[in-house]
Amino acid sequence: MTLHRLSWRIGVPFVLLVLCETVTLVVYMTMQIAAEERARLEQLAATDAAFMANYTASDRMARELGRVTGHAVYFRRGGELIPTPDDAARLGSLGTIPADGRAHRDGELEAVAAPIDASRDLLLVRQRGHELRDPRILQVLVAFWLLASLIAWLLVRGLVRPLQHLAAQLPRIESPGSLELPEASRRDEIGDVARSFLRTRQALQDEREHRARIEKLAVLGRMTASLAHEIQNPVAAIKMHAQLCRGGPADAIAGTIEHEASRIESLLNQWLFLSRPEPPIVQPVDVAQLLAQVVRSNQAQLDHAQVAVDLQAAGTLTVQGDGKRLGQVFFNVLGNAIQAMSSGGTLNVRARLVDDAVEVRFLDQGKGFSTTALARFAEFFFSEKEGGMGIGLTVANEIVKAHGGSLQASNRAEGGACVTVILPREGSMSVMPGSQP
């Protein structure tokens, strides 16, 4: 119902308050005006009495003073009116009031008796007016109502309209794109509501994007599961026949075939990791030895890309983790670095102890990461490489995080990119998404 709207919930009490304040103001001003009139009558009676001290009280003098003052004037000697006026009965009890200079009332009349001398006094009588008709009351009421109207307008503008605007934006809470709410800049409760609205909307959009990624992964998992067996068997056969041809006249060709088959197998393993990762096998892993093994397994690709690897490992670099998965991390990072060095060069791999962790840095001589690539580093399905699927670094990042470490990317001041893998030495590996512990 309309009466249940906020404008009515605020407006009705406000109008009632204004009415109560109007009545109070009228009563107060009426009392003040009446008090002013009494004081003026008392002052006028005292002035006329002082004036009559040098004159004889007579009926003619009474009429003259009445004409000047605008009120009825009478004289008394010894408490008796002199001369006795024709309207003496109209005065009632006012004809006998004491000469104390104070105003006295009797019905619609008000009178003041002021002493002239020891034997005479002056009686000033006026017809009481209607104070409500005083123009000052109307002026004050008009000013008060204008002020109340201004306050009501400010309330509507500052409270009701912003809330109406927020309510109108609620249907857009799930709409894509940006949304500007001027109310969010306010420092009051309405500003808090607006900021909460924006945060909730952002959370909903993030959740929607998260669900979209999960759905993509679900589709990826179903595709991988259906193709895994079809791909694994041909790849295994290709590798086996390539190995049988090694040592013969086609040794170089066989090596190339075996290497490319290994790349297909590695890609398949990454897809399988995303769809249904295996339980981790935690054991001591020599990082330096694992790095050397990964470099050897990629030697054919390194030679083809004319990239030399300078591997330096300092100290005892042993961590607790899954060697197979950590090998996948180094394999992916190394492969990305080789692809980044399209003109060849030297890839520096530095492994060392930093506090209680092992740090491995891959320093290439390529073009480095773009601003977008740094901002979206290791994001699912993001790749700036032609034909890239954007899952290699994602898999590496998930594995490193499962080991309690971190995968970081930056650009080198002298050119090229730097990818850093940090692994805690004593950290226990957590269960990764989709694995069965």
267 lies in some domain: yes
Residues 105 and 193 in one domain: no
394 in any annotated domain: yes
Q: What is the pLDDT of residues 273-320, one digit of tens each?
A: 655 556 667 889 999 999 999 998 888 888 888 999 999 988 788 998
**DSSP H or E run through 293:** helix 287-297
Q: Are residues 391 and 431 in the same domain?
A: yes
Same domain, 393 and 249: no
Residues 270 and 409 occupy one common structural domain:
no
Residue 436 and residue 341 share a domain: yes
Pairwise pLDDT comparison (210 vs 330), residue with the higher score: 330
**357-377: average pLDDT:** 87
Q: What percent of the chain has pLDDT over 70?
A: 85
Within this chain, do residues 346 and 300 fall inside the same structural domain, yes or no?
yes
Place of tokens 């009421």: 141
> Which CATH number fits the domain that encloses residue 330?
3.30.565.10
Q: Are residues 127 and 183 in the same domain?
A: no
Specify the number of domains making up the chain: 3
Give the pLDDT confidence of 168-189 residue by residue, as tens digits.
777 777 777 677 777 777 777 7
Query: Is residue 189 located within the same domain as residue 204?
Result: yes
The residue out of 255, 276, 297 marking a domain boundary is: 276
Last residue of a domain, one of 135, 163, 189: 135
Work out whether strand 120-127 and strand 72-77 pair parallel, antiparallel, or are unpaired. Answer: antiparallel
Query: In this structure, are 426 and 306 located in the same domain?
Result: yes
Digit-coded pLDDT (tens) for 255-281:
778 777 776 776 666 666 655 556 667
Statement to judge: residues 259 and 299 lie in one domain = no
Structural domain that includes position 53: 2-135
Say whether pLDDT at 123 is over 70. yes
Q: How far apart are CA 48 and CA 84, in angstroms?
A: 20
**Both 232 and 359 in a single domain?**
no
Do 125 and 61 sit in the same domain of this protein? yes
Contact 95, 88 (CB under 8 A): yes
- The residue type found at 287 is V
Give Cβ neighbours of residue 159 (< 8 Å, ≥ 6 apart): 6, 10, 190
63-90 residue pLDDT tens:
889 899 888 899 988 888 887 777 777 8
pTM above threshold 0.85: no
CATH of residue 249: 1.10.287
In a domain, residue 147? The reply is no
